[in-house]
Structure 1
Amino acid sequence: MAAMATVRAWLTVKPHIPMIKFRKGGITGNDLRATQAAPSPSDPAKARLTAPPKPILEDWQLPKKYQRQPLSDLEIEYINYGGPPPMK
């Protein structure tokens, strides 16, 4: 009898649609419904869901402020040594 009440409670639960909209990534409830409807390629809703690919930058193309700082000789020795000495 308790199992039947549990099943009935689960059947009344509505599907979750997130209320929070993040700036990047994630599918909202409206986008999920639009993708389930399978719009045709000429549909403007489909064009809204797909973003153009962004260019991939190589290391040498990065601005100076995003480039890695060169390692000092002391840092190189520390890395080659294997890091801090083991604790006793």
Structure 2
Amino acid sequence: MGSKVSSKMAAPTARVIQAVRPHAPLIKFPNRQGVPKPNAAAPPLISRPHVPLTPIPGTPDTLASIQLLPARYRRRPLSADEMDYIQRGGPE
């Protein structure tokens, strides 16, 4: 009886396998064979000149603008337990 069930199941499976089309990739990545890879093991360049930070154009945040934010956009205050957990670097 078990062989009848498996033969009944095998026929539709064979039809499904025949109906599956070959894979066609939907995403195409550019060919980067000629682009040199960065050397992550190389030490950072110390001789690079220091570039001062430039402020981002626009109005700076003020305490009043932060207080006007709706509650859903405000940062949730941390409890003392959460601050201790962060200060010690995670679980003990």
Q: Note whether the superposition's TM-score is higher than 0.5.
A: no
**Higher normalized contact order (CA 8 Å, seq sep 6+, divided by chain length):** 1
Q: Pick the structure with greater CA Rg.
A: 2
Structure (1 or 2) with the greater helix fraction: 1
Instruction: Report the TM-score when normalising by structure 1.
Output: 0.29
Instruction: Report the TM-score when normalising by structure 2.
Output: 0.28
